Amino acid sequence: MNTTTVFFRRCENYNNASEMLKKLLMEYSDRFSPGEEVLVKPNMLSPRRVEEAVTTHPMILKTVLEFLLNLRVKPVVGDSPASGTAKSVAQKAGLLEVCEDLRVHLVELDEPIDANGEVYSKIKISKTALTMKVVNVAKLKTHSQMVMTLGVKNTFGCVVGKEKSAWHLRAGTNERFADLLIDVHLLVSPVITVMDGIEGMEGNGPANGIKRFFGLLAVSENAFALDYAIVEALGIDPGVVYTVARSMDRGLVPKFEMDGSWRGTIRLPSTTPVVPVPNPLRNLVRRFVRVPKINTRRCVTCKICENNCPAKAINVDRVSIDYQKCIRCYVCHEVCPEDAIMLVRKLF
Ligand code: SF4
Ligand code: SF4
């Protein structure tokens, strides 16, 4: 295949997914050589059950691993989750069982190397992700900060540990954070991206939104094209999805052809601007955006939010969030295991 292709297949359930996905993956069999090590990077955001649709479904991971093993490739599965460890997430999400059954190693993406991207330098990316070929296995979900989390954003898990939340502070704005996500994706440069869009999430994703059936299985060698195609098929203005908007601005969405069709709908996060916000108005709009607030009825005082807040704005013991420090990155909402962070309107 010389032209970039985005494959869309309508898939009603995970039982039908394996056969369908294997056929699509065969299109890319010449990209791999026997004996080489390949990192398979699922969405392993946090320790959630498969039924919650936060993480890549075990059936999708199993199919990708079997495809690689049949080619006599040596796959390893890895991620650096936003909360928990690769092992704790994999265990809860049913992914560890798949790895054990197929005798595939599960690794924590650590051992950082300072990598220089087009916009940012010294991005601490896992050595494994930079030195192995990567198969990116993403999940179709909304994202309170970035509007959607698709193929490009999935490789952010190759940035090691707490560096991920620190970048929210360094980047400062959603547009600049999208540039970082794009830099990381270009550095990791996956051979293919698979989208598990059979079940995903709408509303205030990526962890505490509403589970939703979409019925999409998608594959492409180019995640910029894949993400653009999905956003378009969902009827969303590409300009409001930060990674898609910035990748278009940076000339990274190639001309591509579609193989197969699918259309869907999605309820975007309550934090999403209705239309793309022009540059001069961005500071004004940020004064009206939603802010996190601790729901004391749900909170179990685990302090995961406090420990992950890049701005050090949360004090769980005092049930307080310092809105002068808060940069509205919604990491606290993303990592809270109890859905105890509400996103409420506040005018500054
Ligand atoms: S808000 Fe959530 S993450 Fe924060 S302490 Fe409470 S339960 Fe834990
Ligand atoms: S309080 Fe929440 S939204 Fe605000 S900076 Fe901290 S993690 Fe981000």
CATH number of the domain residue 340 falls in: 3.30.70.20
Cα(294) to ligand 1 centroid in Å equals 7
pLDDT at residue 176 in the model: 97
Cα(19) to ligand 1 centroid in Å equals 40
Residue 294's domain comprises 279-345
Q: Does a structural domain hold residue 274?
A: no
With 90 as the cut, is the pLDDT of residue 101 above it? yes
Residue 329 CA: nearest ligand 2 atom is 8
Residue with token string 């970048």? 167
Cα(41) to ligand 2 centroid in Å equals 26
Whether 285 and 250 map to the same domain: the answer is no
Q: Does a structural domain hold residue 290?
A: yes
With 90 as the cut, is the pLDDT of residue 218 above it? yes
With 70 as the cut, is the pLDDT of residue 276 above it? no
Q: Model confidence at 282, in pLDDT bands (50, 70, 90)?
A: low
Report pLDDT digits (tens) over 125-157: 999 999 999 999 999 999 999 999 999 999 999
Long-range contacts of 343-348 (CB under 8 A, 24+ apart): 343/144, 343/204, 343/269, 343/270, 343/271, 343/290, 343/291, 343/292, 343/293, 344/290, 344/291, 344/292, 344/293, 345/288, 345/290, 345/291, 346/290, 346/291, 347/287, 347/288, 348/287, 348/323
pLDDT at residue 273 in the model: 75
Q: Could you tell me the CATH number of the domain that includes residue 41? A: 3.40.50.11440
Mean of the pLDDT values across residues 337-343? 97
Mean of the pLDDT values across residues 33-55? 98
**Tokens read off for 281:** 């108005």
Domain count, the chain: 2
Minimum CA distance residue for ligand 1 atom 3:
336
**Tokens read off for 79:** 């991620």
With 90 as the cut, is the pLDDT of residue 285 above it? no
Residue 316 CA: nearest ligand 1 atom is 5
Q: Does a structural domain hold residue 267?
A: no
| Residue 341 CB partners (closer than 8 Å, separation 6+) | 208, 292, 293, 294, 295, 305, 332, 333
Cα(325) to ligand 2 centroid in Å equals 8
Q: Does a structural domain hold residue 92?
A: yes
Query: In this structure, are residues 157 and 41 in contact, taking their beta carbons and an 8 Å threshold?
Result: yes
pLDDT at residue 1 in the model: 59
Residue 314 CA: nearest ligand 1 atom is 4
Whether 136 and 173 map to the same domain: the answer is yes
Q: Does a structural domain hold residue 268?
A: no
Does pTM surpass 0.85?
Answer: yes
Q: Does a structural domain hold residue 241?
A: yes
**Tokens read off for 306:** 């406090």
Report pLDDT digits (tens) over 106-119: 999 999 999 999 99
Q: Report the interhelical angle of 242-249 vs 174-188 (nearest 10°).
A: 70
Residue 303 CA: nearest ligand 1 atom is 5
Higher pLDDT, 122 or 346: 122
